[in-house]
Amino acid sequence: MRAGPPAAVPLPAGGPTTWGGGQRRIPAIRWGGGQDVTRYLCAAAYLDRAYAELLIKQVAAEPHLGVGAAPACDVPVVLRHAYAANARRHQRDLLLTPLCVLAVLFFLWAHDAGVTTLVLFLAWITVLAFELSTRYGDHLQSLRPNRFDPAAAPPPRNADIAARLGQISAYAGGNTTVYSGYSPFVGYGAPLDTWSLTFDVTAPGPLGGTPQDFDVTELYDQVATRLGTLALPCLEIEERLFVEGTTVLGDPRFLPDPLGRPVPRVGQDQIDQLKRVPEEGARPYLAVHSTGWGGELVTSLFLRFVRSDSNLCVEAVQTVLFPLDDRYRIIDTLMPRPSLREAAKLMSATLASTPFVLLASPVRAVTGFSPDYWITWRVRRQNKLITSLRRFDYGARWGVRQQAAATRHQRHFQKSDSGLALKMIERRALDALIEFAEARGIDVSELVQRQQLIVNNGIIATGGAQVASNSIASGRQSRISMRLLNKIPLVNTD
């Protein structure tokens, strides 16, 4: 029996990854092995209230949705810090609530400006103390590079939260993404470009004869093996299944329990079957990731091969996960004690924000006692949709890592690295495709031309050929010549 490639092979230190052609191994992807991204996202939970609340509402406390990919990030650790950050904010709001009541009473009824000013001053001191303790206390100081320990993250507040975090941790080593919305590659960043090609697998090569038949899974194996020898920093390869979230209800392969989460992993036999017989809502891809800049820059190419009786279709999608927003890197520049300048900046910033924080504190203090109330109400409504209407979108809405990313490269070298990595991966994948076809006596003359066009990203069509939507169509009456553009893929930042 033929054995295919493993689901993912991380790059050994100092050399390229290998695919291990005869055995299927499923090691976890290491994404470079660093912890900086996790540190920064833990800091984001303390620095950005909206981000921390979104983590809890859309990921931690959501019992039905899948979990998007989060390269180089330990999601359960980030979620534990998010719960701790929200608990600290609730404690501050409890202190501010009586001050807010007193300020309103003395200002509107007693008309005592002196007492009102004193109350506002106490509120400002409370907010300032909270910010100082957050930045220069154990919460952010424990996230400094020389002190960060994922195992020391705040413990879950109760058994239910611990159980949910255990479910979420399973997605880190999974091979299935159930997505919502347009792009299936949720969590892997912004799409750069796509291309596709089709060629005739029944056309004989220069030696003549009938081309050999093949199983499309053999092509996946061949391409993965050749890509595994590519010398790129932190190159990692996996086979990942993307499933549309509205199609999983009633399909036990992906959703054993309609009131639970989709499965994080499916068996290799199911993936191979979907390679041979594609489905509209479930499609396997060979994913190739190049991780750099401490795990912050992840450049990916997703490849899919579809075999018909006479043709082979190739689809490729490029994505890049940009580095994190600069505001979350404050933990790398925080001193153990604030300087006079930093203290002055904090004093002025909290002076401006205190009135808004004070007015919002009563509502936040009340809702903080039952933070899951609105989530519980929403889950009940979801359960009704699932059980009564049999309609629900189980797909992940966004990725924990991607939500905190910047919208573009932050350094010229980062942009250059992404472009070069994609060109090298595409070139090696197309080389493997040509070698595979030649070994089976298939004509590769037109495929070689298309390889040059794709790698150099420039097309001139003549002789009646048409090129549209980043696709390259083959035809015996078409002649396509190459134009070198030597450009790196750009991201539309409009």
CB 489 within 8 A of CB 461: no
Domain boundary (340, 371, 403) is at 403
Domain boundary among 376, 403, 430: 403
Residue 332 lies in a domain: yes
Same domain, 309 and 390: no
pLDDT at res. 491: 32
Q: What is the 3-state secondary structure (H, E, C) of the chain?
A: CCCCCCCEECCCCCCCCCCCCCCCCCCCCCCCCCCHHHHHHHHHHHHCHHHHHHHHHHHHCCCCCCCCCCCCCCHHHHHHHHHHHHHHHHHHHHHHHHHHHHHHHHHHCCCCHHHHHHHHHHHHHHHHHHHHHHHHCHHHHCCCCCCCCHHHCCCCCCHHHHHHHHHHHHHHHCCEEEECCCCCCCCCCEEEEEEEEEEECCCECCCCCCCCCCCHHHHHHHHHHHHCCCCCCCEEEEEEEEEEHHHCCCCCCCCCCCCCCCCCCCCHHHHHHHHHCCCCCEEEEEEEEEEECCCCEEEEEEEEEEECCCEEEEEEEEEEECCECHHHHHHHCCCCCCCHHHHHHHHHHHHHHHHHHHHHHHHHHHHHHCCCHHHHHHHHHHHHHHHHHCCCCCCECCCHHHHCECCCCCCHHHHHHHHHHHHHHHHHHHHHHHHHHHHCCECCHHHHHHHHHHHHCCEEEECCCCCECCEECCCCCCEEEECCCCCCCCCCCC
Do 274 and 256 fall within a single domain? Answer: yes
| Total number of domains constituting the chain | 2
Q: Is residue 359 one of the residues assigned to a domain?
A: yes
pTM equals 0.82
62 domain-assigned: no
**In this structure, is residue 46 part of a structural domain?**
no
Same domain, residue pair 122 and 264: no
**Residue 475: inside a domain:** yes
Residues 139 and 89 in one domain: yes
Q: Are the C-beta atoms of 61 and 311 separated by less than 8 Å?
A: no
Task: State the residue range of the domain holding 415.
Answer: 8-30+190-321+411-482
For residue 494, tell me if it sits in a domain. Answer: no
299 plus 433 within the same structural domain: yes
Token look-up 């490849």 returns: 303
Is there a contact between 458 and 423 (Cβ–Cβ < 8 Å)?
A: no
- Residue 44 within any structural domain of the chain: no
Structural domain includes residue 491? no
b/e 348-366 (16+ beta carbons within 10 angstroms → b): eebeeebeebbeebbebbe
Q: Are residues 309 and 333 in the same domain?
A: no
In angstroms, the CA 7 to CA 267 distance is 10
**Residue 35, pLDDT score:** 86
Return the pLDDT at 33.
Answer: 61
In the prediction, which pLDDT does 143 show?
92
Contact 84, 138 (CB under 8 A): no
Query: Among 414, 396, 326, 295, which Cα is nearest to 38's?
Result: 295
Q: How many CB atoms lie within 10 A of CB 388?
A: 8
Residues 194, 285 within the same domain: yes
* Residues 121 and 238 both lie in one domain: no
How confident is the model at residue 332, as a pLDDT? Answer: 87
Longest CA–CA separation in the chain, Å: 100
Of 403, 422, 442, which residue is a domain's last? 403
Give yes or no: residues 336 and 388 share one domain: yes
Same domain? For 227 and 89 the reply is no
**Are residues 317 and 433 both part of a single domain?**
yes
Q: Which residues of the chain fall short of a pLDDT of 70?
A: 1-28, 30-33, 110, 371-373, 457-494
pLDDT at 206: 78
CA distance 86 to 492: 35
Are 62 and 180 a contacting pair, CB within 8 Å? no
Cα–Cα distance, 284 to 224 (Å, whole number): 14
Same domain, 146 and 82: yes
